């Protein structure tokens, strides 16, 4: 067993130990399992939200996008910064309502706001559709990281299976408490590894960060600016806006907000988390350095740029630490995703079928859903191909379609009713599915449309259609209800006159 593999294995076992031990002293009911009894302070909320930023997709894909797409990669920190700004005002309102109404899942929030179990079921379906691809990405990324960092000693598929088993076990045992405690070690590792790599590699190979970019400018100047079309400024702006609106609507981010111990903890994190997100720049530095030092990685292999450059640069023990950090970027986000999806399905579907289910029954069903979702994700990890990539592309476009209904529900006087909310979500989600599957762009219908219009994210356009449908359907159904009430009053009045 090489030193890299030994280090990775030790961190895996330590994560399992922390995840299971997190249950200690907890009377595990649904509220403890899903939102930690709403007792997480600023530190744990910080670690859990940060866990949604530093996933395997970021660890591999951040450097990979810098390697293959260049400046377009900066859309990631841009939308996360904007999401935190929005959360300063919006997230405390969500937390307050959820606490007052004893809500522990995203579907329940929508069902309560609009007094509609049907809307809760729609939200649970959309949330699960958005989350499953992300869980698969964590499992696949884990396999890639461990496979590369162990120098091939563990095949990626074997690593994915082991990682899925570990995260499933500790989530079923400890719920969100297990995620919180493993996040503690994960974020310490990421902080140390990413800053070290992001500074050491540019200085080691180029003598500094500025000389590195000067070299990139000399060899591939197109990497440092947005494209005139395709990944253009229009694409950048619309994608940043879309993803910023959807960030806290991912069920895993939503449930972390509900687990806070107060509005103050949420606002503190909205202020401090942007500083932590700046660490993404160090990941991008590694990708830009790899452009010059390991050229020729094509397509999806670009996501291996960080690991390949690290293996070329460091001894096995250091690769073990990098691999361990990558392992933790899979375990923590996947655990919160599994828990959030399972609780959402339990509170929407199972509670409708068995309205008088006890806390223990709901908890057992949530654990069963965790096992089922994890197993399904593992199957997709093995078999998923282009269909999986397509689902990932539309995940944010899907979940952001919940944003208009959420925002309107926070007003003191909501002009949107359950029919409008449901119609807007269904129409826009179907549109996102259709245009993604058919690979349709605006130019498909309008061939001469300018690139500045054609490059706008179709998820953003679907969001605009969502709002229009939502308002129109709400207006029509309210008008119909008023007319129906007026007609009933007239009939009752006529009847009373005849009786008199």
How far apart (Å, rounded) are the C-alpha atoms in residues 378 and 384? 9
Q: What pTM was estimated for this model as a whole?
A: 0.86
Gap between the Cα atoms of 48 and 254, Å rounded = 11
Query: Tokens representing 194?
Result: 């990413």
**Residue that has been written with the tokens 């884990």 in this structure:** 142
User: What pLDDT, on a 0 to 100 scale, did the predictor assign at position 388?
Assistant: 46
Q: What is the mean pLDDT of each run of 10 residues along the chain (500 residues)?
A: 85 89 80 80 75 72 86 90 92 92 90 91 90 85 85 86 90 86 84 91 94 92 88 90 88 87 88 86 92 84 86 91 88 87 87 84 91 90 61 77 93 90 94 84 81 86 94 91 62 55
Ordered DSSP codes for 371-386: HHHHHHHHHHHHH--H
Q: What pLDDT, on the 0 to 100 scale, is given for residue 491?
A: 55
Q: Which of the 8 DSSP states describes residue 29? A: -
- Please provide the size of the chain in residues: 500
> What is the pLDDT, as a whole number, of residue 407?
93
Task: Say what the pLDDT of residue 370 is.
Answer: 92
pLDDT value for 123: 93
Q: What is the pLDDT of residue 236?
A: 92
CA dist list (Å): 284 to 14, 73, 194: 29, 8, 10
Among 323, 314, 308, 307, which residue's Cα sits nearest to residue 6? Answer: 323
Second-level CATH architecture of 3-384:
Up-down Bundle (1.20)
How far is it, in rounded angstroms, from Cα 158 to Cα 80?
A: 33
């Amino acid at each position: 067993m090489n030193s890299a593999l030994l280090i990775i294995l030790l961190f895996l076992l330590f994560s399992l130990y922390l995840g299971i031990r997190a249950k200690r002293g907890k009377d595990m009911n649904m509220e403890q399992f899903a939102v930690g009894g709403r007792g997480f302070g600023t530190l744990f909320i910080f670690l859990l939200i940060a866990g949604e930023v530093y996933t395997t997709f970021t660890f591999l894909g951040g450097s990979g996008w810098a390697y293959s797409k260049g400046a377009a990669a900066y859309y990631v920190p841009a939308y996360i910064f904007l999401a935190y700004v929005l959360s300063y005002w919006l997230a405390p309102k969500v937390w307050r309502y959820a606490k007052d109404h004893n809500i522990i899942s995203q579907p329940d929030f929508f069902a309560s706001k609009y007094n509609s179990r049907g809307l809760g079921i729609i939200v649970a379906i959309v949330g699960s559709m958005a989350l499953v691809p992300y869980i698969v990405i964590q499992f696949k990324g884990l396999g890639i990281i461990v496979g590369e960092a162990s120098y091939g000693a563990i095949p990626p598929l074997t690593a994915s299976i082991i990682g899925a088993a570990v995260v499933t076990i500790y989530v079923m045992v400890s719920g969100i408490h297990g995620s919180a405690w493993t996040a503690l070690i994960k974020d310490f590792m990421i902080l140390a590894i990413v800053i070290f790599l992001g500074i050491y590699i540019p200085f080691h190979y180029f003598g500094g960060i500025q000389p590195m970019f000067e070299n990139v400018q000399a060899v591939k100047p197109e990497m440092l600016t947005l494209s005139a079309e395709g990944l253009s400024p229009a694409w950048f702006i619309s994608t940043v806006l879309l993803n910023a609106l959807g960030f806290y609507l991912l069920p895993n981010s939503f449930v972390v907000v509900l687990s806070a111990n107060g509005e103050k903890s949420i606002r503190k994190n909205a202020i401090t988390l942007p500083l932590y997100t700046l660490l993404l720049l160090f990941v991008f530095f590694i990708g830009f350095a790899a452009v010059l030092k390991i050229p020729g990685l094509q397509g999806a292999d670009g996501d291996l740029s960080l690991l390949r450059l690290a293996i070329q640069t460091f001894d096995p023990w250091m690769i073990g630490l990098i691999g361990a950090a990558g392992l933790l970027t899979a375990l923590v986000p996947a655990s919160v995703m599994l828990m959030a999806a399972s609780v959402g399905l339990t509170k929407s579907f199972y509670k409708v079928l068995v309205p008088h289910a006890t806390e223990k029954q709901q908890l057992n069903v949530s654990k069963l859903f965790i096992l089922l979702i994890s197993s399904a994700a593992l199957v997709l990890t093995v078999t998923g191909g282009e269909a999986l990539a397509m689902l990932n592309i539309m995940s944010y476009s899907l979940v952001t379609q919940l944003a208009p209904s959420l925002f309107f529900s926070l007003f003191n006087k909501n002009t949107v009713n359950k029919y409008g909310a449901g119609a807007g979500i269904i129409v826009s989600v179907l549109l996102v599915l259709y245009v993604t599957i058919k690979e349709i762009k605006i130019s498909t219908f309008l061939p001469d449309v300018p690139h500045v219009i054609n490059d706008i994210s179709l998820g953003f356009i679907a969001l605009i259609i969502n709002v229009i449908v939502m308002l129109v359907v709400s207006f029509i159904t309210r008008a119909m209800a008023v007319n129906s009430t007026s007609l009933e009053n007239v009939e009752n009045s006529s009847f009373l006159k005849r009786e008199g």
